[in-house]
Structure 1
Amino acid sequence: MPMPPKPWPTGQCEQLEPLVRRVLAPNGSPFTYTGTQTYLVGDSSAVAVIDPGPDLPEHLAALEAAIGDATIVAICCTHTHRDHSPAAAPLSASRDAPIIGCEPLVLESDEPRADVPFDIDYRPDRVLKDGESLSGPAWTLTALATPGHTSNHLCFALEETKALFTGDHVMGWSTTVVAPPDGDMADYMASLERLYGRDDRIYYPAHGPAVTRPRQLVRGMIGHRRQRERQILRLLQQGSKDIAELVPAMYKGVDMRLWPAAGQSVRAHLIDLERRGAVGRSGDRWTIPT
């Protein structure tokens, strides 16, 4: 989806439905679309803040203004990428509000600078496990474990209205990057299948427009990932290749600035295919086993 024309509603508090408001952070980019969307769930008395976003003074000021005199029942993070969770700590300190949501991410990898995209300072007061809920006046949020984009990713279901806050697991503007070693394509596909089996009315992603036909989009995303898998296998049938050779062939017409991220998802597909015995590798080169 192309970037929409400016001005974007950065810093504005937009009412999406009676229990849901949205505040857009000023961190738009080719990787975040118009920016991270922070959601306020509740009314003027008590709210949950979903994905507080980056620790930027202007964004925190916009959140404070939107929250007003309401009590913050919980600050909830879908995952701990740096465009999602860093504002949790200063907002918690200013409002004496608990951070409740995904678990901290501990990377079990010695790859250089593997933790650069992650907020390693994230410290929740309580971790919500799959199926656990928190509530306020007239609203209930239930955690739904959706690993894949990251191992600690959660979605949050607003039970009263069948709205699902999908973080980066499902977005309305782009496919999701699955970047090893933490991102896992098999987990991601299983999480998509889990969402496809639900009856949510609408998705509110952290980036991009609301998704008003959720199951149709998820079905298309599953098909898209399977198509990428078949594409990789066709290319490898022509001979061994490394990821740097696969990406230009697979992502023709895609902004080259996004190729490194695309390469991460290709790598996640290859690792998944390797586990299933469909491909093999020697060094950086991947092949079809004979």
Structure 2
Amino acid sequence: MTGHVTTPAAALADRLPDWVTLLRAPNPGPMTLEGTNTWVLRAEPGAPALIIDPGPDDAGHLARIAAHTPVGGVLITHGHGDHTEGVDTLAGLLGGAPVRAVDAAYCRDAEPITAATRLAGHGLDITPVAVPGHTADSVAYLVRRGDEQVILTGDTILGRGTTVVAYPDGNLGAYLESLELLGAYQGITALPGHGPALADCAVAAGFYLAHRRARLDQVRAALAAGISTAPEVVAHIYADVDPSLWPAATWSVRAQLAYLAQRREFDPGAGGLDLP
């Protein structure tokens, strides 16, 4: 549970609903896995589609998205560039389709998403679910069509491996609470921002929670052993991880240290820990 996780956190979905289409951006990498997932949801043929996360500003990828017209709107799961760089280009290709996100910086011709936001239309019922932690603006979308449901999880739950808590914008306490919230979505297919679809959002959330708690115990043990800086904690507990991923792991470790400090489990100043 505490080793580097590269496999899916739940069984893979054996199929996607016939109203869900995956378009994967050509931006594979250590952080993006096979590439950023753009999801196209269309309740029935001819109905306006809903686009989740345009992805990078890649002409070919955005043209493939725009080919799925008519499009009723675009939703953003969080503001990282691999999900949002294509917003303006896509909005232009679509003739100004509204774009909505928690952060107003990514909205186009629409209001930001809040706790009171309710989205419906074109045969789809969409409930935004605030899931801060990976980033402060992370949001999932529970989408219903008839008696079928899916939940778009962005980078809060990935199709394989685990995600980073992107400190200081990300917050571990908030992330743990978000995972507990997602644990209520039993039996609902998770459509992640990267990697394959998972059969059960709740199972994946439970795995992530156990993994994060185990990592926290590793950090506690490292502190007790006299480890004095975040990079040293990373080298100690992420020794099985490719060093090219250590900068991202450092974000999560800083988030873990901030979490423990907030809980008064240690004094970061006493050991010279390099928390900002």
Contact 1:162 1:200 (C-alpha < 8 Å) held by counterparts: no
Aligned with 1:75: secondary structure? strand
Match of residue 45, structure 1, among 41, 44, 47: 47
Query: Does structure 1 retain, via aligned residues, the 8 Å contact 2:100–2:112?
Result: yes
What stretches of structure 1 move > 3 A for 4+ residues in a row? none
Deviation at 1:71, TM superposition (A): 2.3
Is 2:77 the partner of 1:78? yes
Match in the other structure for 1:25: 25
- Residue 12 of structure 2 corresponds to which residue in structure 1? none
Superposed, 1:209-220 pairs within 5 Å as 209-220=196-207
- 1:61-210 correspondence runs (5 A): 61-65=63-67, 67=68, 70-95=69-94, 96-104=96-104, 122-124=106-108, 125-130=110-115, 132-160=117-145, 161-210=148-197
Tell me the number of residue pairs that the alignment of Structure 1 and Structure 2 aligns: 257
Matched, 1:60 2:62: yes
Q: TM-score with structure 1 length normalisation? A: 0.83
Query: What is the distance in 1 between the residues matched to 2:116 and 2:242?
Result: 39
Give the TM-score of the pair, scaled to structure 2.
0.87
Partner of 2:11: none
Counterpart of 1:84 in 2: which secondary structure?
A: helix
1:199-278 map, 5 Å: 199-278=186-265
Give the share of equivalent positions with the same residue, in percent. 32
Determine the C-alpha separation between the residues in 1 that align with 2:76 and 2:156.
13
SS of the residue 1:259 aligns to = helix
| Cα contact 1:52–1:85 (8 A) shared by 2 | yes
Give, as a single letter, the amino acid of the residue that structure 2 aligns with 1:29: G
The answer on whether the counterparts of 2:100 and 2:107 sit within 8 Å (CA) in structure 1 is no
Contact map agreement 2:127 2:142 (CA 8 A) in 1: yes
Select the structure with the greater relative contact order (CA < 8 A; seq sep ≥ 6): 2
d(CA) in 2 for partners of 1:175 and 1:279?
26
Matched position secondary structure for 1:281: coil
Which letter does structure 2 place at the counterpart of 1:162?
Answer: Q
Q: C-alpha deviations, 1:257-279, integer Å up to 9, x for none?
A: 10110011011010010000002
The one-letter code matched in structure 2 to 1:276 is R
Please tell me the residue identity of whatever aligns with 2:79: T
Q: Secondary structure at the match of 1:270?
A: helix
The question of whether the paired residues in 1 share the 8 Å contact of 2:159 and 2:197 is answered with yes
After superposition, the Cα gap between the structure-2 partners of 1:195 and 1:131, relative to the gap in structure 1 and judged at 3 Å, is farther
The answer on whether the counterparts of 2:101 and 2:107 sit within 8 Å (CA) in structure 1 is: no
Native 8 Å contact 1:38 1:206 kept in 2? yes
Q: CA deviation at 1:122?
A: 2.7
Offset from partner CA, 1:21-78 (integer Å, 9 cap, x none): 110001110110010010011143211100111111111112122x0xx322111000
Query: 2:41 corresponds to which letter in structure 1?
Result: V
Report Cα offsets for 1:154-173 as digits up to 9, x if no partner: 10111232200000011121
Equivalent residues of 1:164, 1:200 under 8 A apart: no
